[in-house]
Structure 1
């Protein structure tokens, strides 16, 4: 269906105006209008007697954006003045598409488009204008390669227009400022920016930004209503014809602005023909409430168990996870119907080699998606990286959440596996204010998913009530909603947990019912045949009237969660279309109402997805692996399939084992062999066998597109050994079988340095520089293959001189898991210590650096001159 929608969109938008005979350039001024379907919005393009262009927008006959200069400059020409009009072409554009996330999944919209052709001394500039019932946009088109030096693009607002502006930073995480267009402070402001012009609102932003351009922002000089577009780079290069991003003005009342999808309407169509692997949903996330927990696999399993109990499909493991244990935790999660998402720095994926290595590895573990962090740039170079990472993650069927990122500019239409983006001052700032929260639905959340990480009692510096916190999960739109507190905290608020576990994260339609920026937001959203009404307030206690004109025929049960005298409380009543739901809201409070068809039931609660417990036992080795998959009790399971999953370069023999039904107490058994190919690299490898199934009671059961097959996997651990070392090799010259490090990668012949590989300094301790060795950060560890061919190990160990404060490390040597030698705690003030070990007969050597018992800060551990004595 998705592919058909894309084909229809391409067909319907391919209407081309009749060819124009280019007239001689017209030097006199001109004025043109483009009116959108329905006649509410009109864009006005002007050319004055100096050949300068202007652009403005009216709504229902009233000026919203007064005509303001537009144009651009290149290294070859100034295309902001001296222009002559050549001609105009018109067409109607119809956009029909399906989203995987968002406030409206199915979209069908018609826009009016006009292309205006201009010339300056033989250099061509086209201005394309599109208008819909929600606003107007324009872009520049250059027919040949060019280097852009800037834009004259600007907007003109009344000086007394109220405004809600974001002081610009490239991660969009500053606090929004309620101000006025003219007196607003001088400086740069990030998109989207909201202005009220009498009875209308204008939201200014941009769409269709990728690596062919960079991200813009608004620059304001105080005292006027003029806001100009500034670019991130001094120069933007284009190797061929260039269509710039759309300069977008969403105009209308607040309901129009809040519900607008104009940014998506202007974006390129989806680049994915298959989105069946893309899944939104609630996410359990531990970093905000307990920073150290992502480094603790046992604690992550507790989050997984909590998510499974409550039907949340995902757990995000943030900064601190390790290659050493993530694969096993992923297997643990998937057997319980929970998928794992992993945090990464963007610098972990900023080269083609890193993407080609790391992303397939994550997918082979069964990871469902990634949170990529700290991009912190709107440059053309960074947008080219976005192009690359989006294509690479899509190829691996890895969904994406961008943090430390730019704002959505249509990216979720073009790349439907982008579930959400941060670009907001969210709960992780540990300061929550109701007045700020009520601005986001009218600003940041309009162009796309917003990863605010809501609903946390861990943030104690807040003026919001408990019901306000819960309502954020409904009022804010995000394909993945990362709920940010501990399992124990949610379980101590059972009414909140009951509501959260039944909220969708995607919507068939959304409507603003009432509110104003900085005061209140009341939104109704539909998912299937249910409606959900949520409100957040920054006002004193009052009663919110929520009109229910959107309901269908018949009676509905309305269950409402609000703040009560003794904590959260839940009430219910029977309502019909056209009724008004009157909800008492506490000061800075909120509410959530679930509306379901009334069938006589006392509750709208639906069963929470509970995956049956199963076991998968493996025995044997690569030459013969026996697998027994059992359903101890319950069920039945359907469409059961048991099979090996050969790693890349490996082959297996034996057919899958299947069962149409598996009932409690029943098992299926299979036996397979694994064989490595000639190009399999040396090192440890996991040989997986997996059972997949559906089960009675699961949504979409048994095999419809909505059914999510459960994946139960276990592995046989084996090793493809490298050649035995000979002579007296440096450990840094040998291949690592495994590697982990407290910060960044383990460095060869350099100190640990910072987070990136190769960024260390020469190994230096107490002023002495060493040519070879390993640079670690505690806790760190590497293993290397000896194969029983060596008899001695030696090194000089200590804290590298690069640290700015004292560190402490205990250096340990292990052979086949057995301790052989240890330095004891070595501190920065200590001289390098000699460390030797007898490794006779050892197959696998482990070099480990622990934190000395006082934390890992400044524990840059050097293994200088780490060498082996091996057989010739």
Structure 2
């Protein structure tokens, strides 16, 4: 080991340290502190609000030993007891022996706009103090403390240039031992159940996953002390650092910040750590807080016009196998189109062979497609560079990425990378199997939602839902996937299920039922058609995480969009009358529609109210209600806005398919008609040159029309020339028409597209891995091209290797598997070297079969891992469709990574 060289340090003032935190108005400097007889000193920062019972004050204390502590009061009453501050690096202990060398103060005020969330327009004012301390060895530690009207936060500044390695933090939040606590055992998925307990006794509620007398709890963690609530979490975490959680020793009232996996983090200095954050106040303050976003860096995206929150229907929850069924996914698209939903989300099981066609089908109906990915398919830059532009070219507008399950620094570096890449491609993103939001949606506004919750897919727990309203959903959008009305053995009422997408905020709200389940609840359908997913204002109306006198728990939350208020109320426990004071409505008379449960199902009632009224809804066990209020007007009988859908149109190409040799030219004609209805506006027809293969060209002009009446025909003509070096196979030439969405607002144009399929005759040697798959099935992950099967992601395999021989070309499969390829009747022979890939270290057993037009042409017996490749060939003369199939050898498909080495066709010249 080389001896460590001591770094040459550069003195940095408190002003320079503060520059790491961001800009703001400096209003005071070098403010005085109080001192005690034992030599300790205290510096106070008070929030910007007017003096009163709710004003927050944070006190940083430096004791005689040079140890730092932080305490917080609300209206003069302690809410956080003195907790340790400090940090340790591989070179410096900055937790003790400290002395103050500089202090700077300022007021930070920011206004910004979100694309998602509980409040789109934000304004934040925070008092900030930067205290710079020096350790015994001369190293400096900056502590930046911010206090707002809804909480406090602090972070550390390490000013050394070069590499900085943080080994641990001393950061500790200390609560009164008897403070009520709502804690969640820590797992990186954040899908464990929360429990009500006390600050000191939290470990007793923890499953047996503790290390001795220390248990770990996940953010956000809620406490109640006196009349105040404290919600602990963190903000502004990215690849410079790791996520953290809270460690708690049995019987203690202190909760210490612990880095993910207790592993050091290494970054280039100067380094600003994440904000250690406490949202403090009454429950209304907690629910309405935007502190986590306020602490996050500003948006990295200037033009957010392509980012659109909305509803999607999502089939996986209620119809688990349907994401792999093209025709069934069309049913969900049809439902979305009929009911004005913006999206259909296609989850695990989709096939690249049919997704482009589904996208075209959906976009013609005014519906956009969202596509699920296992993160293993997007883990590397090469994988993202392959997949993200491809799905964008298909017309997919967003991705749902799953299974990250980690808070490590390397995982946050991956978040940085995929957020940058999706922003470049104008793809929205939903993180599933993910960590909690830490201000991510402000910095990267294409993030529409994040799971990090034990949601509807994990079974039902009405009490859990109450806790979530006051914990997890406070800090960011929450992908809970509600509204599975037809769920077998459902544990809540219909009205409560309908209330969940109001109570739980999510920029994309994935509705959990199937079309048939929604159709059985027309009252719910009508409400969901009106429901926004991004809000101008959010209010806690009533309820809390604690039990009511009747033995139940309740949460009633109101959210405003423009001039309409949507209200959701949920109850956990015994039946009770839910009460919702309507003071949030403001002046004047309001029309209030309320949906509650009856013996016959959901029932809607309408009445006129004012802000002085209180809504009372009798609710059954685990019941609830949903409501919407709008300004009353003469003759107005409901709060509905019209659901506008895209009209049926017709786009035809002549020809629809053709065959052309390299260098040949193909004429393309297009005709677009609106058979009946009103008039289309801002119509444009084009052949999409950007999606032609390299070397291809097209001539002809776009066709535009300011308006197109029903029955009128819009036509266009182009000539496409095939690239001279184009290999054999099938190429799609897209022609599309766009027109202004009749829904108006920020709805994107309706996109109607058809494909001219140009068959390029296969010639010479053609490889199976270079051809499009007509169909594809695989026992584990996707079929891989020119690499082994790997894991569940696409492009995550290794070089194809059988018996020590490496093959540059070929297919990697996992039994049982099958692909079909169009070989046009032009190829006379297929040859491959087949066997089990060496990556399985001698394990696995498979069979290989070659079929032509459904007829077996060649096959192997059972081949086992560790053996040399077997030559497999077949006469394919006259065959149109070639099928390559892998069986499991009769003993299951574990370790059955089957390689088709080379997999080449000999075709006519």
TM-score (norm 1): 0.90
Match of 2:536 among 471, 490, 508: 508
Q: Post-superposition shift, 1:826?
A: 7.5
Is residue 2:211 matched to residue 1:182?
A: no
Whole-Å separation in 1 of the counterparts to 2:726 and 2:271: 45
Counterparts in 2 of 1:758 and 1:553: CA distance versus 1, 3 Å: closer
The aligned residue for residue 149 of structure 2 is 133
SS in 1 for 2:45: strand
Q: Secondary structure at the match of 2:474?
A: coil
Q: Per the alignment, in what secondary structure is the counterpart of residue 638 of structure 1?
A: strand
Please state whether the residue corresponding to 2:386 is helix, strand or coil. Answer: helix
Contact 2:854/2:883, CA 8 A, preserved across alignment: no
Residues 1:513 and 1:717: Cα distance change in structure 2 (over 3 Å): same
- Choose the corresponding residue for 2:812, options 775, 782, 786: 775
Q: Name 1:14's counterpart in structure 2.
A: 24
2:849 corresponding residue in structure 1: 811
Displacement, 1:656?
Answer: 1.2
Please name the residue that 1:6 is paired with.
none
Match of 1:665 among 705, 711, 726: 711
Distance across 1 between alignment mates of 2:688 and 2:334: 25
Structure 1 residue 124 corresponds to structure 2 residue 134: no
Where 2:541 maps in the other structure, the secondary structure is strand
Taking the aligned partners of 1:855 and 1:688, their CA distance within structure 2 comes to 42
Which residue of 194, 209, 214 maps to 2:237? Answer: 209
* Cα shift readout 1:148-191 (whole Å, capped 9, x = no counterpart): 00000001111111111110011111111211110111411011
- In the alignment, which of 280, 299, 302 is matched to residue 270 of structure 1? 299
Per-residue displacement from partner, 1:84-135 (whole Å, max 9, x unpaired)?
A: 1012111111110000001100011211111111111321111001111001
**Shift in Å, 1:603:** 2.1
User: Post-superposition shift, 1:497?
Assistant: 1.4
Cα distance in 2 for partners of 1:379, 1:796 equals: 40
1:713 equivalent among 740, 753, 775: 753
SS at match of 2:344: strand
Q: Does the 8 A contact of 1:821 with 1:837 survive in 2?
A: no
TM-aligned CA deviation for residue 713 of structure 1 = 0.8
Q: Distance in 2 between matches of 1:850 and 1:596?
A: 62
Deviates more, 1:383-392 or 1:493-502: 493-502
For residues 847 and 337 of structure 2, the distance between their equivalents in structure 1, rounded to whole angstroms, comes to 39
Helix, strand or coil at the partner of 1:550: helix
Task: Give the Å deviation of 1:241.
Answer: 0.6
Q: CA 1:856–1:262 in 2, change beyond 3 Å: closer, same or farther?
A: same
Question: How many residues are paired up?
Answer: 844
Q: Map 1:387-786; keep pairs closer than 5 Å.
A: 387-429=416-458, 431-457=459-485, 459-517=487-545, 519-599=553-633, 600-620=635-655, 623-646=666-689, 647=691, 649=694, 650-675=696-721, 684-694=730-740, 696=742, 698-700=743-745, 706-719=746-759, 724-725=764-765, 735-738=770-773, 740-742=776-778, 743-747=780-784, 752-756=789-793, 757=795, 759=797, 774-777=811-814, 778-781=816-819, 783=821
| Structure 1 position 73 matched with structure 2 position 72 | no
Q: CA deviation at 1:804?
A: 12
* Alpha-carbon distance in structure 2 between the residues aligned to 1:274 and 1:327: 27
**1:453 and 1:482 in contact (8 A); partners too:** yes
Deviation at 1:687, TM superposition (A): 1.4
**Structure 1 position 665, deviation (Å):** 1.1
1:247 counterpart = 2:276: yes
Is the contact made by 1:286 and 1:484 (CA closer than 8 Å) also made in structure 2? Answer: yes
Check conservation: 1:786, 1:845, Cα contact below 8 A: no
Q: Is the 8 Å Cα contact of residues 790 and 840 (structure 1) preserved in structure 2?
A: yes
Match of 1:35 in 2: 46
Q: Secondary structure at the match of 1:725?
A: strand
The separation in 2 between residues aligned to 1:670 and 1:794, in whole angstroms, is: 46
Structure 2 gaps, min length 5? 1-19, 204-213, 547-552, 659-664
- CA, structure 1 residues 22+176, in 2 after alignment: closer, same or farther (shift >3 Å)? closer
Q: Within 2, Cα distance between the matches of 1:857 and 1:583?
A: 55
Q: Is the 8 A contact 1:751 1:800 kept in 2?
A: no
Residue 648 of structure 2 contacts residue 674 of structure 2 at CA under 8 Å; is this kept in 1? yes
- 1:308 Cα deviation from its structure 2 partner: 0.5
C-alpha change, 1:382 and 1:69, in structure 2 (3 Å) is: same
Aligned 1:792-803 pairs, distance under 5 A: 793=831
TM-aligned CA distance change 1:737 to 1:749, over 3 Å = closer
Secondary structure of the 1:278 match is coil
Deviates more, 1:511-520 or 1:381-390: 511-520
Residue 657 of structure 1: how far off its partner (Å): 0.6
Report the Cα distance in structure 2 between the residues aligned to 1:682 and 1:36, rounded to whole angstroms: 70
Structure 1 residues not aligned, in runs of 5+:
1-9, 701-705
Q: TM-score, normalised by structure 2?
A: 0.86
**Structure 2 counterpart SS, 1:143:** strand
**In the alignment, which residue of structure 2 is the partner of 1:703?**
none
Of 363, 373, 377, the residue aligned with 1:334 is 363
Shift of 1:29: 2.4
Secondary structure of residue in 2 paired with 1:445 = helix
Shift of 1:718: 2.5
Residue 3 of structure 1: aligned partner: none
Contact 1:22 1:87 in 2 (8 A): no
Query: Are the equivalent residues in 1 in contact too, given 2:832–2:901 (CA < 8 A)?
Result: no
CA distance, structure 1, for counterparts of residue 119 and residue 640 of structure 2: 24
Which secondary structure state, in structure 2, belongs to the residue aligned with residue 302 of structure 1?
helix
Cα separation, 2, equivalents of 1:22 and 1:194: 34
CA distance in 1, matches of 2:523, 2:159: 60
For 1:368 and 1:749, the matched residues in 2 are separated by 28
